[in-house]
Amino acid sequence: MNIKSQKDFFSGLMFMVVGVAFAWGASNYTIGTGARMGPGYFPLALGVLLTVLGGIITFKALVVETVDGDKIGAFAWKPLIFIILANLVFGAMIGGLPRIHLPPMGLIVGIYALTFIASLAGDRFNFKEAIVLASILAVLSYLAFIKLLNLQFPVWPAFLTA
């Protein structure tokens, strides 16, 4: 068996897996009939449809020739990890993590943390530059979101304001 288009082969697989998962999930709800649709009717139909579409895509990827094999290419792990991590840490700073007794640290700390971690995703990391950028972003965000737009954010760490 020869994969002619890597991208299509794996996207087809993805659609099939997701389709089956949704259809299987839908079968736990009442399906009902056409005239009286239960909550499972439409998702079940869509899940089956997605699985079929995924199957066709995968099949085509095995049969139809492509010029360069449509390689997926290497995953950019570094940006992927740091960007997502920056986002998660920001969330933890804003909301705190009660499970590990981390109090909310507020927007300003969050901005510094996010900027630092996100900057690590780039080709070059410059500590001084990251500090300057974070400070600019912190001031601008404070003025724009807190002062001007009045968004409800915890700004400072909880132990300082409490």
Partner 1 sequence: MDLFNNLALGFGVAFTLQNLMYAFIGCLLGTVIGVLPGIGPLATIAMLLPATYALPPVAALIMLAGIYYGAQYGGSTTAILVNLPGESSSVVTVIDGYQMARNGRAGPALAAAGMGSFFAGCVGTLILAAFAAPLTELAFKFGPAEYFSLMILGLIGAVVLASGSLIKAIAMIVLGLLLGMAGTDVNSGVARYSFDIPELTDGIGFIVIAMGVFGYGEIISNLGKHESERQVFTANVTGLMPTKEDFRRMVPAVLRGTALGSLLGILPGGGAVMAAFAAYTLEKKTRLEPGEVPFGKGNIRGVAAPEAANNAGAQTSFIPLLTLGIPPNAVMALMVGAMTIHNIQPGPQVMTSNPELFWGLIASMWLGNLMLIILNLPLIGIWIKLLSVPYRWLFPSIVLFCAIGVYSTNNSTFDIWMVAIFGVIGYLFIKLGTEPAPLLLGFILGPMMEEYLRRALLLSRGDWSVFVTRPISAGLLAGAVLLLVIVLMPSVKSKREEAFVDD
Among 53, 62, 131, 155, binds partner 1 (CB under 8 A): 53
Give the number of other Cβ atoms within 10 Å of residue 114's Cβ. Answer: 22
Query: At which residue do the structure tokens 């997926």 appear?
Result: 72
Q: Rounded to the nearest 5 degrees, what angle is found at the Cα of 21, between the Cα atoms of 19 and 24?
A: 105
Please give the span between the terminal C-alpha atoms of the chain, in angstroms, as a whole number: 65
Q: What is the footprint of partner 1 within residues 64-93 (CB under 8 A)?
A: 70, 72-76, 78-80, 83-84, 86-88, 90-92
- Measured from the CB atom, the residue of 14 and 62 that comes closer to partner 1 is 14
Q: Considering the complex, what minimum distance in angstroms separates the CB of residue 1 from partner 1?
A: 19
Question: Could you say which DSSP state residue 96 is in?
Answer: -
Q: What is the footprint of partner 1 within residues 123-152 (CB under 8 A)?
A: 123-124, 129-130, 133-134, 137, 141, 145, 149-152
Site map (CB under 8 A) of partner 1, residues 94-123, x = contact: xx-----------x---x--xx--xx-xxx
Contact predicate 3/61, CB 8 Å:
yes
